[in-house]
Structure 1
Amino acid sequence: MIVSGSQSQVLAAELAAVTGQSLARVEYDRFPDGELHVRVPDPAAERAVVVAATPSSDAHVELLQLQDALREAGVSEITTVLPYMGYGRQDRAFETGEPVSARAMARAISTGTDRVLTVNPHEPAVADCFDVPAESVDAAGRLAEPLPGDLTDPVFISPDEGAVDIAETVSEAYGRGAIDFFEKTRHSSTEVEIEPRDAVVEGRDVVLTDDIIATGSTMSESVGVLQKLGAARVFVTCVHPMLARNAVLKLSAAGVDSIFGTDTLERAVSEVSVAPAIADAL
């Protein structure tokens, strides 16, 4: 049985279709004082897979309620799939007195589940924060699917060396293309230049890849640089299309041709589903 959080309804339905499992009916509501209330009217299964992205504090609370509702109904085995794990980027205390937010959320989620799957967490070490078996699912290869099939001498570029593995995965899934990453050169305390480390992009189609696009500032700057260097077309891809505030406008103004994301976060640019990758890991 697939049980969906309110932020992951499209993905949950797709996962049910891919796996052949039933899709549970879930009711989402609020009490007059604003507190959340969820209900799974017919939890008729011994095993359940809860699919719930947690991009907000409310989504975290909703997930804990779903887990508890299933336990209360007698479900004996629960797997929790976190397509996108909010608070997952702070995996250490940066200053004295700060929390390790990823650990705090992971411990809370662990109390109501037997196993956890996360999709391309920004910090891979987040899996170690859970008190139950947890593993990461690499769905970056799915980003090759919506790309045009006629890319001209493509080069797949990540915004920094730390994310080059995503560029490699997307290039491999696409079937061809060079791989590179942006390198920063500091000229002064206020002037920083970014450019591809090795690849010549003039006349070539470029695919920018990353795990998440939040505000779009880094990506839009990268798009602008590629335009100045004479790139033919520039496509932006990411696993988690957070795209907060005016991120889409920034990217569009910079000259991006298309933005492609997955359904870990359900947005207008969610062109491809990570359901097959999750199904393989279940």
Structure 2
Amino acid sequence: MKLIAGNSNRRLSEAICERLGTSLAKAEIKTFKDGEVFVEIQENVRGEDVFVIQSTSQPANDNLMELLITQDALSRASASRITAVLPYFGYARQDRKAGPRTPISAKLVANLITTAGADRVLTVDLHAGQIQGFFDIPTDNLYAVKEFDRRIREIYNGDIEQVTVVSPDVGGVVRARALAKRLKDRPLAIVDKRREGPGLSEVMNIIGDVKDRHCVIFDDIVDSGGTLCNAAEALMQKGAKSVAACITHGVLSDHAEKRIMASEAMTRLLVTDSIEARPGVAECPKIEQVSIATLLAEAIRRIANEESVSSLFD
């Protein structure tokens, strides 16, 4: 087994290796001055089971090309199996035709990854579970709910009975219910909102009782943070005692950390390290990273040893 890291999230790749008791394989992945990506695998991988760890986060296109070209290099170097490990799968929000003459970019990216030589895909909290069907190769979609479960119990400790899990929209109810079930079947609330345009939303109503409760919003992606702060404000107006959020993928674009910091309603934001935190995000006192290195390391170990991965989904 060999692990190769792209440049998108080197810190997470090293943490995965540490938990597996190994080190990253030697490879040079760089970009020429004109923007072209160059990859050279600097050790023998013939007949090896190789895992390429690369989040296709910002800059999404550069990181995607690094992944594709690395897979091609490994395929031409006669690796026996190539697993694309995508802690964050970019383009996942473009999973359907949202209007006439629009692409299904998630399917296109899935095709590119497969064509470039991937034999298997390992990812975390896809925006929509059906994206697994876009791949014609085995795909494992892990869930970060266990990691959030542990951290929430530490934060609220003896006050866990006062926690209510909140879905930021109707579509996220299944995800939120999974966390609520793990937290001793905590109550569930839903934010009913109307989306006026891309990246814009207006909170309309709160479904469920949140008065005098510690509300924990649970979702898969936080981008600009505007919707999240609006939801937190609406919950506080309904009498919530406090509002925190657990979001798997902290895209946090367009100075989102400043919005989170300025929000009086939002007390804490937990995100995983599926996307490497920018300096501004890493320094924000309201934002905390929860590592998924152990989760990914265990999945990689089981795949390499041909063991069951399904128990990690529970």
RMSD of equivalent CA atoms: 2.3
* Residues 193/244 of structure 1: CA separation in 2 closer, same or farther (3 Å cut): closer
**CA apart distance, 1:176:** 5.7
Tell me, yes or no, if structure 1 residue 70 matches structure 2 residue 74. Answer: yes
**CA apart distance, 1:115:** 0.6
Amino acid at match of 1:76: S
- Picking from 270, 276, 282, the partner of 2:294 is 276
Instruction: Report what 1:138 is aligned to.
Output: 143
CA deviation profile, 1:108-146 (whole Å, cap 9, x unmatched): 100211111221111211111113222311223312233
TM-score by length of 1: 0.89
Q: Which deviates further from its counterpart, 112-121 or 33-42?
A: 33-42
- Picking from 37, 52, 55, the partner of 1:50 is 52
Tell me, yes or no, if structure 1 residue 232 matches structure 2 residue 203. Answer: no
Instruction: Report what 1:4 is aligned to.
Output: 5
Instruction: Report what 2:128 is aligned to.
Output: 123
Give structure 2 stretches of 5+ with no counterpart.
Answer: 196-200, 304-314
**CA apart distance, 1:79:** 0.9
CA deviation profile, 1:162-218 (whole Å, cap 9, x unmatched): 2122222333444463222112489xxxx965333112x232211111000011121
**CA apart distance, 1:77:** 0.8
**CA apart distance, 1:277:** 2.8
Higher helix content, 1 or 2: 2
**CA apart distance, 1:39:** 2.8
Tell me, yes or no, if structure 1 residue 249 matches structure 2 residue 251. Answer: no
Q: Is the Cα contact below 8 Å between 2:203 and 2:234 reproduced in 1?
A: no
Query: What SS is found at the alignment partner of 2:68?
Result: helix
**CA apart distance, 1:21:** 4.2
- Picking from 131, 149, 160, the partner of 2:156 is 149
* Residues 21/273 of structure 1: CA separation in 2 closer, same or farther (3 Å cut): same
Amino acid at match of 2:105: S
TM-score by length of 2: 0.80
* Residues 254/75 of structure 1: CA separation in 2 closer, same or farther (3 Å cut): same
Query: What SS is found at the alignment partner of 2:232?
Result: helix
Q: Which deviates further from its counterpart, 71-80 or 206-215?
A: 71-80
* Residues 270/30 of structure 1: CA separation in 2 closer, same or farther (3 Å cut): farther
CA deviation profile, 1:72-106 (whole Å, cap 9, x unmatched): 22211111111111112212223343221111110
Query: What SS is found at the alignment partner of 2:231?
Result: helix
Moved >6 Å (runs of 4+): none
In 1: Cα distance, 2:203 partner to 2:267 partner: 23
Q: Is the Cα contact below 8 Å between 1:145 and 1:272 reproduced in 2?
A: no
* Residues 9/173 of structure 1: CA separation in 2 closer, same or farther (3 Å cut): farther
* Residues 23/250 of structure 1: CA separation in 2 closer, same or farther (3 Å cut): same
In 2: Cα distance, 1:97 partner to 1:230 partner: 44
Query: What SS is found at the alignment partner of 1:32?
Result: coil
* Residues 193/36 of structure 1: CA separation in 2 closer, same or farther (3 Å cut): closer
Instruction: Report what 1:30 is aligned to.
Output: 31
CA deviation profile, 1:44-99 (whole Å, cap 9, x unmatched): 46111111110211111000111112222221111111111111221222334322
In 2: Cα distance, 1:94 partner to 1:177 partner: 34
Query: What SS is found at the alignment partner of 2:174?
Result: helix
* Residues 35/235 of structure 1: CA separation in 2 closer, same or farther (3 Å cut): same
Amino acid at match of 2:292: V
In 2: Cα distance, 1:161 partner to 1:216 partner: 18
Tell me, yes or no, if structure 1 residue 166 matches structure 2 residue 175. Answer: yes
* Residues 8/143 of structure 1: CA separation in 2 closer, same or farther (3 Å cut): same
Query: What SS is found at the alignment partner of 1:6?
Result: coil
**CA apart distance, 1:43:** 4.4
* Residues 127/270 of structure 1: CA separation in 2 closer, same or farther (3 Å cut): farther
Instruction: Report what 1:194 is aligned to.
Output: 204
Q: Is the Cα contact below 8 Å between 2:203 and 2:230 reproduced in 1?
A: no
